[in-house]
Amino acid sequence: MTSWVDAVARRARRALHRLAPGWGRRARRVVSPWRRSLSLRVVSITLLVSSLLVAAFGYFVAKQITAGLVVAKREAAVRQVGSGAATVQQQLSALSGAQDPQLGASVRDVVVNLYSVPTRAGTYEVKLVPDPRIGVAPYGGPATDQTRIEVPAALRDTVNHRGALAYQFTTANPDGGPKRPYLAVGEHVDVGWGVFDLYYLFPLDDEVAAANLVRNTTIIAGVALVLLLALMAAIVARMVVTPVRAAARTAQRLSAGLLHERMEVRGEDDLARLAASFNQMASNLQNQIVRLEELSRLQRRFTSDVSHELRTPLTTVRMAADMLYAGRDEFPPSSARSAELLADELDRFEALLTDLLEISRFDAGFAVLDAEAVDLAPIVQRVADGFAVLAERLHAPVRLHAPDGPVIAEVDPRRVERVLRNLIGNAIEHGEHRPVEVHLAADDRTVAIAVRDHGIGLKPGEEKLVFNRFWRADPSRARQTGGTGLGLSISLEDARLHGGWLEAWGAPGQGSQFRLTLPSRNGDRIVSSPLPLVPPDADVLPVAPLALPAGPSSGDDRPVSGSPPGAGRHPVPDSDQAHVAATAGGDRDD
Amino acid sequence: MLVVDDDPALAEMLGIVLRSEGFMPSFVADGERALSAFRDTRPDIVLLDLMLPGMSGIDVCRAIRAESGVPIVMLTAKSDTVDVVLGLESGADDYVVKPFKPKELVARMRARLRRGEDTAPELLTIGPPGRQINIDVPAHTATRNGAEVKLTPLEFDLLVALARKPRQVFTREVLLEQVWGYRHAADTRLVNVHVQRLRAKIEPDPERPEIILTVRGVGYKAGTG
């Protein structure tokens, strides 16, 4: 029922809105509680429907009773007129004819007699109208004002011409007041020597009063009934709505983190079952949450402890190794070389430990984004400068292409810097002694940094694998920077934490490009990147580039969204699904 | 100098390294005795491990800072924002994450000790008219309305750096270099936390700073009204 009421309301609203644009605001003030309160809807609908029903019923009852009253009155009146006609015929037929000197007196006597007949048809007026040829005036009784009541012409015609009993409802105001309804009945009386028309006029005052009484009673009873029904509906709705509201409130508090919130269970009815099921659900949820929180806390604690317990002795070892390294000139050659190896490998060990702890921090879900508005250009410049020595050694100069002026975004500068160190470091290492291009660009909502190398590139399918932990393109290749194999996995997690993307493109012999896209405002969703993933100078034929986003770290078989060959200028991701992995920071599917 | 660390091997190794660099360290292994040792030895600089038995490093740091402006360098195994910021907010001037290289630690400590070289008389003011802070650089005092504002040496340096060039906007990186002595940009949280601490001491309303203004996306500058 509500649905069609709503539908009608909607349509009416739309129609009214077209007619009067200002109506919308006023309507919303009325409509908003209607949409928000179930009790209001129930009460209103009950009120409407019961009003219609009661009105129809009352109308029918009143009509029936009035009709009954009228029929009874008419039947009594017809009987009265019949007996009156018999009296007239009996008394006047005794006269000798129209010339009888007694005629005038007899007519008066008859009428007076007719007034005194006991009757069930209530009070009445009588009018005896002789045939005009008889020559006696019509007589209506001794009270002069009675003669003022006119017999309707139509009735007179019917009685006169058809010579039969007839009746008609009429109105009259014999005493000068407002017109009152009358029932006029006429009968044609043949007294042998002439004809008379006998008319009775029955006032319907009692019947009108009775009908009014019935109508008023019905209206009062109907209104009372409707109000009672509405009240009952309100009470019933309240009985249902109160626990539902309590459930909604409890659910809100639960979702706000108050896990101990429960509903009150009273009785054994459906509402009690609702409350019991709700509480059951809340308990299960609470147990799960508490269990997960405990797990997460343990994991966090473990990571933190491992971190501290490992780092303290490592610090001692590190310092000891540095002391030995500093004094290696005084050692015999084998010991000196050992000191060198010790110091070098400690660097690797340290880097690995740092990365492992960082990854486990992401896995435990307590990596925190420490975002602030910063200019990205100096960060990129700084990272590039940091690699100057290595770049020179490998003849892979880093070329920066940034717009004039600051590129400001709300990011965690330490994480962005770490990602860039990774990308630029990898690009130099795999760049085959060719320049590394770094592009920085921004639009209204996003910033992007693309790092391009011209090395051996990536084989099809490797764009996804590069983000896997400990994945190496070619295990036999000599490593220059001593990476841990975790760098890109961490970078991907850093991008996710920002709600950003980290994607890879590569083609054999053409090098590769990594693109980091981040929202300018922390918390925004990004839908496109200001930089193309496939570099414009890439020859996309004959090998179709796979412009796919960085998948999750472990090998999954997510559908690959490939750009069609030749269309790789701005491979804005067309499938959201493929991007979910890199966009949403929270959802982990590995 | 005073080293507060609970790990005996690390403490011994620190001793070897620091002595070879010409420091004269004294050691204490737990937090409770750290404060009395500090009062006894009156060190020029404190090296403080954040994780200690007894009293936590944070509490020790607060206690020392309550009675002295001595430079404090934290040693921490955690580089998480919460831990680092908590340490800095409790009064540490700088921090070093384990495992650190000995040279790095020594460089950090020397940077904190390198002070009082410029003795040329210099009087600076900072802040909008009416709310100005007067700074006497050689005397290392800052006054507001004639009353001295107690600042740690680091906070004082930060304020002086900003006050010397009132129209210039300082990036966090530049401040790190000038005040902390980092040659390569390090952790900008150092700047953020110390600016907050400084504002809490000199601003009439730290929520709406008037003396040290934030330039969004760039850094900080002195407020001149």
Q: Does the beta-carbon distance from B77 to A311 stay under 8 Å?
A: yes
Q: Does the beta-carbon distance from B9 to A316 stay under 8 Å?
A: yes
Cβ-nearest to B77 among A312, A318, A319:
A312
Q: Does the beta-carbon distance from B185 to A382 stay under 8 Å?
A: yes
**B118 is a domain residue:** no
Provide the ipTM: 0.76
Confidence of residue B209 (pLDDT cuts 50, 70, 90): confident
Chain B interface includes A181 (CB < 8 A): no
Residues B102 and B6 in one domain: yes
Confidence of residue A577 (pLDDT cuts 50, 70, 90): very low
Residues A518 and A414 in one domain: yes
Question: Nearest CA to CA, how far is A349 from chain B (Å)?
Answer: 11
3-state SS of A555-569 is CCCCCCCCCCCCCCC
Residues A418 and A541 in one domain: yes
Residue B6, phi then psi, degrees to nearest 5: -95, -15
Distances (CA, A) of A14 to A6, A8, A27, A31, A44: 12, 10, 11, 13, 21
| Nearest-by-CA chain B residue for A303 | B78
Residue A428, pLDDT > 70, answer yes
Q: Is beta strand B147-149 parallel, antiparallel or unpaired with respect to B26-28? A: unpaired
Report the pLDDT averaged over residues A379-405.
Answer: 89
Question: Nearest CA to CA, how far is A374 from chain B (Å)?
Answer: 4
Q: Which of A234-248, A464-478, A482-496 has the lowest mean pLDDT?
A: A464-478
Residues B90 and B187 in one domain: no
Last residue of a domain, one of B80, B113, B146: B113
**A560 is a domain residue:** yes
pLDDT score, position B100: 85
Residues A472 and A439 in one domain: yes
Last residue of a domain, one of B50, B84, B113: B113
Residue with structure tokens 């070093």?
B96
Residues B54 and B146 in one domain: no
Separation CA B157–CA B118 (nearest Å): 12
Chain B interface includes A348 (CB < 8 A): no
Residues of A with Cβ-Cβ distance to B99 under 8 angstroms: 311, 314-315, 317-318, 350
**A314 is a domain residue:** yes
Question: Nearest CA to CA, how far is B9 from chain A (Å)?
Answer: 7
Residues of A with Cβ-Cβ distance to B188 under 8 angstroms: 372, 374, 413-414
The parent domain of residue A276 ranges over 262-366
Residues B6 and B90 in one domain: yes
Residues of A with Cβ-Cβ distance to B82 under 8 angstroms: 368
Residue A557, pLDDT > 50, answer no
**A65 is a domain residue:** no
Cβ-nearest to A307 among B77, B82, B218:
B77
Can you give the CATH number for the domain in which B152 is found?
Answer: 1.10.10.10
Q: Does the beta-carbon distance from A350 to B99 stay under 8 Å?
A: yes
Question: Nearest CA to CA, how far is A236 from chain B (Å)?
Answer: 53
Residues of A with Cβ-Cβ distance to B51 under 8 angstroms: 308
Distances (CA, A) of A503 to A204, A373, A455, A555: 97, 23, 17, 16
What pTM does this model have? 0.54
Residue A367, phi then psi, degrees to nearest 5: -75, 130
Residues B89 and B158 in one domain: no
Residue A416, pLDDT > 90, answer yes
| Nearest-by-CA chain B residue for A381 | B185
Q: Does the beta-carbon distance from A315 to B217 stay under 8 Å?
A: no
Confidence of residue A551 (pLDDT cuts 50, 70, 90): very low
**A61 is a domain residue:** no
Report the pLDDT averaged over residues A46-71.
Answer: 91
Q: Does the beta-carbon distance from A319 to B102 stay under 8 Å?
A: yes
Confidence of residue A446 (pLDDT cuts 50, 70, 90): very high
pLDDT score, position A476: 58
Residues A361 and A478 in one domain: no
Cβ-nearest to A315 among B10, B78, B81:
B10
Can you give the CATH number for the domain in which A361 is found?
Answer: 1.10.287
3-state SS of chain B is CEEECCCHHHHHHHHHHHHHCCCCCEEECCHHHHHHHHHHHCCCCEEEECCCCCCCHHHHHHHHHHHCCCCEEEEECCCCHHHHHHHHHCCCCEEEECCCCHHHHHHHHHHHHCCCCCCCCCEEEECCCCCCEEEECCCCEEEECCEEECCCHHHHHHHHHHHHCCCCCEEHHHHHHHHHCCCCCCCCHHHHHHHHHHHHHHCCCCCCCCCEEEECECEEEECCC
| Region of residue A163 (phi > 0: left; psi between -120 and 50: alpha; otherwise: beta) | left
Q: Could you give the number of structural domains in chain B?
A: 2
Residue A331, pLDDT > 80, answer yes
Last residue of a domain, one of B113, B139, B159: B113
Classified as helix, coil or strand, A256 is: coil
pLDDT score, position B117: 56
- Residue A532 neighbours by CB distance under 10 Å: 22
**B64 is a domain residue:** yes
Residues of B with Cβ-Cβ distance to A418 under 8 angstroms: none
Separation CA A18–CA A5 (nearest Å): 20
Residues B137 and B108 in one domain: no
Residues B75 and B139 in one domain: no
Q: Does the beta-carbon distance from B78 to A308 stay under 8 Å?
A: yes
Q: Percentage of chain B with pLDDT > 90? A: 6
| Nearest-by-CA chain A residue for B20 | A323
Residue with structure tokens 């020597």?
A193
Q: Does the beta-carbon distance from B82 to A368 stay under 8 Å?
A: yes
Q: Does the beta-carbon distance from A413 to B188 stay under 8 Å?
A: yes
- Residue B196 neighbours by CB distance under 10 Å: 15
Residues B179 and B131 in one domain: yes
**What is the total residue count of chain B?**
225
| Nearest-by-CA chain A residue for B96 | A315
| Nearest-by-CA chain B residue for A373 | B217
Residues B55 and B134 in one domain: no
Separation CA A140–CA A85 (nearest Å): 15
Within 8 A by CB and 6+ apart from B65, the residues are B72, B90, B91, B152
**A235 is a domain residue:** no
Residues A415 and A435 in one domain: yes
Cβ-nearest to A375 among B10, B101, B217:
B217
Can you give the CATH number for the domain in which A471 is found?
Answer: 3.30.565.10
Look at the alpha carbons of A33, A36, A39, A43 in this order and tell me if their dihedral is positive or negative. positive
Q: Does the beta-carbon distance from A318 to B101 stay under 8 Å?
A: yes
Residues B151 and B99 in one domain: no
Confidence of residue B161 (pLDDT cuts 50, 70, 90): confident
- Counting one residue from chain A and one from chain B, the pairs whose CB atoms sit within 8 A come to 77
Q: What tokens appear for A177 in the block?
A: 């007041």
Residue B146, phi then psi, degrees to nearest 5: 85, -15
Residues A321 and A457 in one domain: no
Question: Nearest CA to CA, how far is A335 from chain B (Å)?
Answer: 20
Q: Does the beta-carbon distance from A406 to B218 stay under 8 Å?
A: yes
Using an 8 Å Cβ cutoff, are A502 and A539 in contact?
Answer: no
Residues A384 and A446 in one domain: yes
3-state SS of A59-70 is HHHHHHHHHHHH
Residue A30, pLDDT > 70, answer no
Residues of A with Cβ-Cβ distance to B216 under 8 angstroms: 373, 408
| Substitution target from B23, B76, B78 for chain A, most A beta carbons within 10 A | B78
Residues 354-383 of A with CB under 8 A from B: 361, 368, 370, 372-375, 378, 382
Q: Does the beta-carbon distance from B102 to A413 stay under 8 Å?
A: no
Cβ-nearest to A315 among B100, B188, B217:
B100
Residues A452 and A539 in one domain: yes
**A550 is a domain residue:** yes
Separation CA A379–CA A385 (nearest Å): 10
Q: Does the beta-carbon distance from B98 to A311 stay under 8 Å?
A: yes
**What is the total residue count of chain A?**
590
Report the pLDDT averaged over residues A336-361.
Answer: 86
Residues A358 and A393 in one domain: no
Within 8 A by CB and 6+ apart from B190, the residues are B88, B94, B95, B176, B180
Q: Could you give the number of structural domains in chain A?
A: 3
Residues of B with Cβ-Cβ distance to A304 under 8 angstroms: 78
Q: Could you report the per-residue pLDDT of B186-208, keeping only the tens digit for each?
A: 677 888 888 988 888 888 888 88
Question: Nearest CA to CA, how far is B174 from chain A (Å)?
Answer: 12
Question: Nearest CA to CA, how far is A353 from chain B (Å)?
Answer: 10
Residues 271-290 of A with CB under 8 A from B: none
Cα atoms found within 13 Å of the Cα of residue A136, Cβ hemisphere only: 26
Q: Does the beta-carbon distance from A408 to B184 stay under 8 Å?
A: no
pLDDT score, position A564: 37
Q: Percentage of chain A with pLDDT > 70? A: 82
pLDDT score, position A540: 58
pLDDT score, position A353: 84
> Which residue did the predictor score with more confidence, B110 or A365?
B110
Last residue of a domain, one of A206, A227, A254: A206
CA angle, corner A348, sides to A346 and A352, nearest 5?
A: 115
Residues of A with Cβ-Cβ distance to B9 under 8 angstroms: 313, 316
**A216 is a domain residue:** no
Residue B124, phi then psi, degrees to nearest 5: -125, 155
Q: Does the beta-carbon distance from A308 to B77 stay under 8 Å?
A: yes
Residues A407 and A336 in one domain: no
Q: What tokens appear for A16 in the block?
A: 């009214």
Report the pLDDT averaged over residues A253-260.
Answer: 83
Last residue of a domain, one of A366, A384, A418: A366
Q: Could you report the per-residue pLDDT of A293-311, keeping only the tens digit for each?
A: 888 888 777 877 777 788 8
**A14 is a domain residue:** no
Can you give the CATH number for the domain in which B9 is found?
Answer: 3.40.50.2300
Separation CA B90–CA B86 (nearest Å): 6
Report the pLDDT averaged over residues A127-156.
Answer: 73
Average pLDDT of every residue of chain A: 80
Confidence of residue A575 (pLDDT cuts 50, 70, 90): very low
| Substitution target from A316, A379, A381, A387 for chain B, most B beta carbons within 10 A | A316
Chain B interface includes A319 (CB < 8 A): yes
Distances (CA, A) of A516 to A220, A528, A550, A579: 77, 11, 10, 13
pLDDT score, position A565: 38
The parent domain of residue B155 ranges over 123-222
Residues A397 and A541 in one domain: yes
Residues B92 and B190 in one domain: no
Last residue of a domain, one of A317, A332, A366: A366
| Region of residue A217 (phi > 0: left; psi between -120 and 50: alpha; otherwise: beta) | alpha
Residues B82 and B130 in one domain: no
Residue B107, phi then psi, degrees to nearest 5: -60, -40
Question: Nearest CA to CA, how far is B127 from chain A (Å)?
Answer: 24
Residues A311 and A434 in one domain: no
Using an 8 Å Cβ cutoff, are A504 and A483 in contact?
Answer: no
